[in-house]
Amino acid sequence: MATSHCVGFPRIGKFRELKKATEAYWRGDLDQSALMAEGKRLRSMHWRMQQDAGMDWVATGDFAWYDQMLNHSMMLGAIPHRFEGNVEGQADNLLDTQFRMARGRAPSGQAAAACEMTKWFDTNYHYIVPELHQGQTFRLTSRAVIEQTIEAQEQGFNAKPVLIGPLTWLWLGKVKGESFDRLELLDELMTVYGQVLAELAETGAQWVQIDEPILALDLPQPWLQAFESVYNRLQTPAIKIMLATYFGGLQDATTTVVNLPVEGLHIDLVRAPEQLLSELDRLPAYKTLSVGVIDGRNIWRSDLSAILEQLKPARERLGERLWVSSSCSLLHVPVDLDSEERLDEETKSWLAFAVQKCEEIAVLGKALSGDNSDKTRALVALSDAVACSRRASRRIHREEVQQKTDAITPELMQRHSPFAERYSLQREKLKLPLFPTTTIGSFPQTKEIRRQRSLYRKQQLDRQEYLESMQQEIQATIKRQEALGLDVLVHGEAERNDMVEYFGEQLDGFAFTEYGWVQSYGSRCVKPPIIYGDISRPAAMTVDWSVFAQQQTSKVMKGMLTGPVTILRWSFPRDDVSQKTSCEQLALALREEVTDLEQAGIGVIQIDEPAIREGLPLRKADWPEYLDWAVNCFRLTAGGVQDDTQIHTHMCYSEFNDIIEYIAAMDADVITIETSRSDMQLLDAFEEFEYPNEIGPGVYDIHSPNVPEREWMKQLIKKAAEKIPPERLWVNPDCGLKTRDWPEVEEALTNMVQVARELRAEY
Ligand code: GLN
Ligand code: ZN
pLDDT, one tens digit per residue, over 247-290 is: 999 999 999 999 999 999 999 999 999 999 888 889 999 999 99
735 lines ligand 1 (CB under 6 A): yes
Specify the residue with its C-alpha closest to ligand 1, atom 10. 736
pLDDT, one tens digit per residue, over 52-89 is: 999 999 999 999 999 999 999 999 999 999 998 654 44
User: 659 vs 101, 636, 684, 755, CA distance in Å?
Assistant: 32, 19, 13, 31
- CA of 606, closest atom in ligand 1: 1
Q: Separation of 620 CA from ligand 2 center, angstroms?
A: 25
Q: How far apart are CA 240 and CA 323, in angstroms?
A: 14
pLDDT at residue number 89: 46
> Are residues 334 and 351 in contact, defined by beta-carbon separation less than 8 angstroms?
no
Q: Does residue 703 carry a catalytic annotation? A: yes
> Do the annotations mark residue 393 as ligand-binding?
no
- CA of 499, closest atom in ligand 1: 2
Q: Separation of 250 CA from ligand 2 center, angstroms?
A: 34
pLDDT, one tens digit per residue, over 97-131 is: 999 999 999 999 888 888 999 999 999 999 999 99
Helix (H, G, I), strand (E, B) or coil at 56: coil
Q: How far apart are CA 73 and CA 100, in angstroms?
A: 13
pLDDT at residue number 285: 92
As residues whose CB is below 5 A from the ion ligand 2, the structure lists 610, 652, 735
Report the length, in residues, of the chain: 763
Pocket test for ligand 1, best of 440, 565, 606 (most atoms within 8 A of CB): 440
**DSSP of 291-331, one letter per residue?**
EEEE-SSS-BPP-HHHHHHHHHHHHHHHGGGEEEEESS-GG
Q: Give the residue from 316, 273, 331 showing the smallest Cα distance to 127.
A: 331
560 lines ligand 1 (CB under 6 A): yes
pLDDT at residue number 704: 82
558 lines ligand 1 (CB under 6 A): no
Low-confidence stretches of the chain (pLDDT < 50) are: 87-89
Distance of CA 12 to the CA centre of its chain: 16
Q: How far apart are CA 685 and CA 566, in angstroms?
A: 23
Q: What angle do CA 317, 322, 324 make, to 5 degrees?
A: 140
> Are residues 385 and 341 in contact, defined by beta-carbon separation less than 8 angstroms?
no
Pocket test for ligand 1, best of 499, 501, 606, 703 (most atoms within 8 A of CB): 499
Specify the residue with its C-alpha closest to ligand 1, atom 4. 736
The H or E element that residue 524 is part of is strand 524-526
Which ipTM value was assigned to this complex?
0.99
Q: How far apart are CA 145 and CA 211, in angstroms?
A: 14
Those residues with Cβ within 8 angstroms of residue 613's Cβ, 6 or more apart along the chain or in another chain: 651, 653, 655, 659
Helices (H), 394-446: 399-406, 419-430
Question: Helix-strand-coil percent breakdown of the chain, rounded to 5?
Answer: 50, 15, 40
